Chain A
Amino acid sequence: MLYALCEGVGMFVDFFYLLKKVGIPVSPTSFLRLQKALSMGLINSVDDFYTGARAILVKSEKYFDLYDQVFAHRFQGAELKEPSLVELSEVVRALLEDWLKDPKMLADILGIDEKDIAKLSPEELIQYFLDRLKEQTEAHHGGSKWIGTGGTSPVGHSGYHPGGMRVGGVSRNKSAVKVAMERRYRDYTQEGPMTPSQMGEALKRLRNMVPFGPMDRVNIDETIYKTMKNCGEIEIIFDRSLKDRLKVILAIDNGGWSMDPYIDLVQTLFNYARAQFKDLKTFFFHNTIYDYLWEDPQRRHKPHKVDEMVRLDPETRLIIVGDASMAPYELMATDGSIYVEERSGKPSYERLKFLAKTFPHSVWINPVLVEYWPYTPSIQHIREIFPMFELTLDGLEKAVVHMMRLFP
């Protein structure tokens, strides 16, 4: 039996905690389940154990690699590699997600007071975790460096609250790690920019994006059905008369990593909803729009002249998704584009105005939360041109209502 092989259950417990330590979200329930599988005699070799334990404990392929490393380390004596920064931030993300559900537990694990945690800003927390993890892998540290209290900042706009967490100051001084932080927080609070888990809800919001005419068509099938349900009492059901389905243009800022978490999300969202549109075109741009929009995400091969957009149906709904955060000159200067080939002499500001005029039903959707808009001048300017909504469930709902107004 494998038990003998692994010097009893203790080894499994070690293994379990090691998995947890490197950041794979393993639940105690699943661990018990693994024990059950062992006691049922389903697992009879290390190979069985490898696949069995993975299927039971690890619920996402993104942790498979980490699992492999831990497994090799624990069961084959291979060295556990010192994690690189990228791996570490992956670890931090996983840990945070788990821990933030329970700030008290987080405080316990870190051995500090819940109130002290509140004083740490997100980047300090991240850094703190990273330091801690490094210490764990180096293993010679006693753990006296639990917290760097020297640099804690008071709860400000970018504060962290055990009661209701929220990330602030996201549009300034972003680091890639912090982007990760952002997403985890928001999964937890259900506020803030949309997360993949809200996809279903978001789709429901988009369902309102159907055109409507007056309610003047008799739906015969439904009428017969309702009448029968009423036991013969006639009930006539009217439908709205059909109108052509909507055309939608989706323009996504896929420039820097500040938008990265949202590109896939928005694209998937609209692709899912595609069936209800007559036509869905997706374009890409970086920061703001100059002479061209691009059909390819690399923004190199398939340019589409903004001037030519005027040929499209003005009833088209133009949805721009971007953080609208950039240096003011990018928006205002005649040669604002950071790309040399886009120097037509028209500032982006004018281009945006042109688009807003061409498509009266247009909106700008911004993953930056409303309360931080006033801090970024370029957001202010763009808001003067496009009605702007935040990329949240509520924001999306409002944006849909706005686009569906009969008279823009």
Chain B
Amino acid sequence: MPQKNETKVFSGASKYVLDDELANIVNISMALEMPLLLKGEPGTGKTMLAHAVAEALHMKLIVLNVKSSMKLIDALYQYDTLTRLNDSRFGDSKRDVSNIEEYIRMGKIGQSFVSEERVVLLIDEIDKADTDFQDDMLDVLDQMEFDIIEIDKTIRAKYRPVIVITSNAKKDLSDPFLGRCNFHHIAFPEPDMMRRIVQVHFPEIEKELLESAVRTFYRLREIKGIEKKPATRELINWIRALRADPDIRTKDLIKGEVPYLGVLFKKSPDYVVAQNAVCMEQRA
């Protein structure tokens, strides 16, 4: 495998606020050529990180969305028998029917291996797949090669992709898996960090609105008995909703009103609990 010495260093992207810690970890993982496993509350930007890395380093991003029923082979390649049969019956395609290779299609991992330039490979929500999938996949990523059985050919990665893996699971992944990754847990951002994140998404935002929205948001996260606390994603969407509605005044927010509560609380029991809490607060 030709080694291209990447001197690229990741330091943030246009829509992603990066703390120094995470930037450091991303850079170390890239240099050590190890996958980076990210865990953290949903909506804290695990997936976004891969997008940001790709954007900042001007690399193509290939996303493998893991599904529970997925087999490793699906992520590597597919042998399209149906098209081949079709071609052999009707013979009107340019493909050579006797050449099986023309009917092999690369899966997401395969694509990242055969790519002519270094890419970012995001493996999203690895915890959905079973343990075997996870371990086998890491074997492939470790070796940077896999075999296509049908044509007895080994595909080797031209450039080792930058690999980001995300997991929502509360449980830990298997030891062999963890052993081959670098690990980072994205903590929920502090209010200061959150203000910066919001500003990146809404550079024009009025200071007052920003302040009161962030304050309201952290207050709402404190409500007890909530199953799914609102996260960064919800806050961004909520502010978008607030700004889109011309009738909403920042003063109301300061008074304790919370419009568009449903953007923040998406589960109906949570919504009811939050609504009650907001009403209680206003009365008090």
* A positions within 8 Å CB-CB of B: 25, 27, 29-30, 33, 36-37, 40, 42-43, 47-48, 51-52, 54-56, 58-61, 64, 196-197, 199-201, 203-204, 225, 228-229, 231, 264, 268, 272, 296, 298
Asked whether B85 lies within 8 Å of A228 as measured between CB atoms, the reply is yes
Q: From known contacts A33-B34, A199-B171, A264-B170, infer whether A52 and B28 are also in contact, taking CB-CB under 8 Å.
A: yes
B131→A55 contact, CB < 8 A: no
Which of B34, B39, B68, B174 is the one whose CB lies under 8 Å from A61?
B39
Q: Which of B36, B82, B86, B179 meets A55, CB within 8 Å?
A: B36
Q: Does B183 contact A (CB under 8 A)?
A: yes
A250 CB → nearest B CB, Å = 16
Give the nearest-CB partner of A295 in chain B: B269
Interface-located stretch among B19-27, B210-218, B255-263: B19-27
The answer to whether A55 touches B28, judged by C-beta atoms less than 8 angstroms apart, is yes
B131 touches A200 (CB 8 A): yes
Report the minimal beta-carbon distance from B174 to chain A, rounded to whole angstroms: 6
Q: Which of B127-173 contact A (CB under 8 A)?
A: 129-132, 170-172
Partner of B25, one of A27, A40, A55, A60: A55
Q: Can you list 14 contacts pairing A with B, beta carbon distance less than 8 Å?
A: A42-B32, A47-B24, A51-B21, A55-B28, A55-B29, A55-B182, A64-B185, A197-B171, A197-B172, A199-B171, A201-B131, A203-B130, A228-B82, A272-B68
Task: List B contacts of A29 (CB < 8 A).
Answer: 179
* Nearest Cβ on chain A to B104's Cβ, whole angstroms: 17
Known contacts A60-B172, A228-B82; is A52 also within 8 Å of B24 by CB? yes
**B171 contacts which chain A residues (CB < 8 A)?**
196-197, 199
Q: Are B21 and A37 in contact (CB under 8 A)?
A: no
A55 surroundings in chain B (CB, below 8 A): 25, 28-29, 36, 182-184
Complex CA–CA separation, A58 to B171 (angstroms): 15
Q: Is the CB of A51 within 8 A of B81?
A: no
**A318 to B86, alpha carbons, bound, how many Å?**
50
**Which residue from B27, B132, B183 sits with its C-beta under 8 Å from A42?**
B27
Spell out B's residues near A (CB within 8 Å): 20-21, 24-25, 27-29, 31-32, 34, 36-37, 39, 68, 81-82, 85-86, 129-132, 170-172, 174-175, 178-179, 181-185, 225
> Closest B-chain residue to A62, C-beta based?
B172
Alpha-carbon distance between A48 and B28 when the two chains are bound, in angstroms? 9
Return A35 CB to nearest CB of chain B, in Å: 11
Say yes or no: B81 contacts A52, CB within 8 Å.
no
Asked if B85 and A231 sit within 8 Å, CB to CB, the answer is yes
Chain A residue numbers with a CB within 8 Å of B178 are 59-60
Closest 8 CB pairs of A and B: A200-B130, A61-B185, A196-B171, A59-B178, A55-B182, A55-B25, A59-B183, A51-B21
Apart from A42-B32, A55-B183, A61-B185: 12 A-B pairs, beta carbons within 8 A = A33-B34, A40-B32, A48-B24, A52-B24, A59-B37, A60-B183, A64-B185, A200-B130, A200-B131, A201-B130, A228-B86, A298-B225
| CB-based contact B29/A197 at 8 Å | no
Contact A33 B24 (CB under 8 A): no
Q: Bound state CA distance, A43 and B24, in angstroms?
A: 9
The smallest beta-carbon distance between A316 and chain B, in angstroms, is 21
Is B179 in contact with A197, judged by CB distance below 8 angstroms? no
Q: Which residues of A contact B28 (CB under 8 A)?
A: 37, 42-43, 51-52, 55-56
Shortest beta-carbon distance from A16 to chain B in Å: 15
Determine whether the beta carbon of B85 is less than 8 Å from that of A229: yes
CA distance A264 to B172 in the complex (A): 14
The answer to whether A59 and B31 touch (CB under 8 A), given A51-B24, A52-B25, A264-B170, is: no
Who on chain A is nearest to B181 by CB?
Answer: A59
Q: How far is the CB of A106 from chain B (nearest CB, A)?
A: 17
Contact of B172 with A59 in the complex, beta carbons under 8 Å: yes
